[in-house]
A and B are shown apart, each in its own frame.
Chain A
């Protein structure tokens, strides 16, 4: 029994989610190898070469792995799959993109977005926007798993895995990357931040998100949003928190002008402390908030910023 963990990275940086996935692999047990697929991503490889509890670091360096194109990365993972009982990746937009291809090529059902490991065959995962938790047991020969990174504490410390090269696998030549339009931000990443402050439809427009920025600066927070705020064009899509956006579990989550629909709660209700600021005392967000402030956000946000 051995685990293969596919490293989460953007070509420049190894993402913290990789350590969370390693912790899921550790809970499963057995040896764990890590795969870095990309081209010329030396910083990622260097960071991965220090991951703890890893037997081998497998490096696949070829241009067709750039941008994590699903057709190419899945073919590589399938070529390696014979050596492993468990294959794991983060339930990021990359993991969600290539892992189901891996699963079907191995003729197994993928176990999506696990939030806990019960044993090597049994896992817990949220369903129905987290309104229920399912415990599922897989009878498939290989377990192909995506991991909800916010549910696992990342493995800590450093190690020295043995570095090996991946076998050469040709690119599938099926799709062609054109362009990334990435949101630039100096703030911490939404899914990794200790503090998140999110705005909803109550913010009224994109400009008003400045009211959140001042607070985010003082708290070292990332900024998130509800679907309504993204759909209305206030902020970009990558800020959406929820069932179909990002799942976060920071120490502190501040929801401003967000009603608390189940789809939004699905993405933040595992936060340690939740604050809600909403002028409607009956808004469902108050049912999950540790501290609720019933107020007009335009009145209280400037004062909140000043008092930090």
Chain B
């Protein structure tokens, strides 16, 4: 079985970003970039499936600028076999990315696509679901457990009320949640080896996909700041404030 894994280059999750002062966007100057944490989990799961003998080949895909090669190299160091960069400067939207992935699924004849449930920059949570619909195939979203037995996929999903188990047949699209696994760190020898693995670049036009955004960002602002609060000394103080000042209990 062949698996595609979609990895996005995003701002590192530890960075607290701010809006640019002219409100034209998010200030990303000199900000540390990294692989989207959910994508790391997706890569890890693919590698575990390969180690378990259920997957023959893992192809990592990213839609982004040349700098996204860095994240693809990370995926290769973690165990992906080859990588494809779909070159695109500027914002990518789930609709366009899903179309790109759909073309690559067809070209590569992939049986399964693993994605993060959400990219932590735009917090869209759409791409996997869109891809599944384009493929007219089942989706398993927000999963915390994955079992593959031949063509049969059984998953556990993290849902608002608790957990949901569903099953379906390959080909299928999976989006991963935080509890699926704990990603490994790339070892130095593997980082070296990853430099030799194939990394191809393609243009979206070659795939016949238009990545022009559909949503115009009119402005980006900082959220309202909360008034600084006070420190209370005792539980009695706290209860008194909540009762008589805030009037919430």
Bound together, the chains give a CA A175 to CA B171 distance in angstroms of 12
Fill in one digit per residue for B198-238: 1 if any A CB lies within 8 Å of its CB, else 0.
00000000000000011111111111001111111011101
| B contact residues around A251 at 8 Å (CB) | 248
**Which residues of chain B (56-108) have a CB below 8 Å from chain A?**
93-95, 98
Tell me, yes or no, whether A273 is within 8 Å of chain B by CB. Answer: yes
Tell me, yes or no, whether B195 is within 8 Å of chain A by CB. Answer: no
Tell me, yes or no, whether A85 is within 8 Å of chain B by CB. Answer: no
Task: Give the size of the chain B interface in residues (CB under 8 angstroms).
Answer: 80
Q: Min CB distance, A302 to chain B, in Å?
A: 9
Task: Give the size of the chain A interface in residues (CB under 8 angstroms).
Answer: 88
**Interface residue stretch chosen among A24-32, A36-44, A179-187:** A179-187
Q: Min CB distance, A118 to chain B, in Å?
A: 8
Given A181-B162, A244-B118, A292-B232, also A100-B129 (CB < 8 A): yes
| B contact residues around A56 at 8 Å (CB) | none
**Chain A binding site: helix, strand, loop or mixed by DSSP?**
mixed
A101 touches B179 (CB 8 A): no
Fill in one digit per residue for A276-300: 1 if any B CB lies within 8 Å of its CB, else 0.
0000010000111111111100001
Contact for B160 among A94, A289, A307, CB less than 8 A: A94
B130 touches A127 (CB 8 A): no
Bound together, the chains give a CA A175 to CA B140 distance in angstroms of 9
| A contact residues around B238 at 8 Å (CB) | 275, 291, 293, 304
| B contact residues around A69 at 8 Å (CB) | 166
| A contact residues around B13 at 8 Å (CB) | 263
Smallest Cβ-Cβ distance to B142: which chain A residue: A93
**Chain B binding site: helix, strand, loop or mixed by DSSP?**
mixed
6 contacts between A and B (CB under 8 A): A70-B141, A96-B142, A101-B139, A127-B122, A128-B26, A133-B221
B residues lining the A interface (CB < 8 Å): 11, 13, 16-19, 26, 38, 93-95, 98, 117-118, 120-130, 132-134, 136-142, 144, 154, 157-168, 177-179, 213-223, 226-232, 234-236, 238-239, 241-242, 246, 248-249
B232 touches A103 (CB 8 A): no
5 nearest A-B residue pairs (beta carbon): A100-B129, A109-B214, A100-B126, A104-B130, A290-B229
Bound together, the chains give a CA A41 to CA B173 distance in angstroms of 30
**Which residues of chain A (108-136) have a CB below 8 Å from chain B?**
108-113, 122, 126-136
| B contact residues around A67 at 8 Å (CB) | 164, 166
Tell me, yes or no, whether A169 is within 8 Å of chain B by CB. Answer: no
Smallest Cβ-Cβ distance to A290: which chain B residue: B229
Given A131-B16, A289-B229, also A182-B162 (CB < 8 A): yes
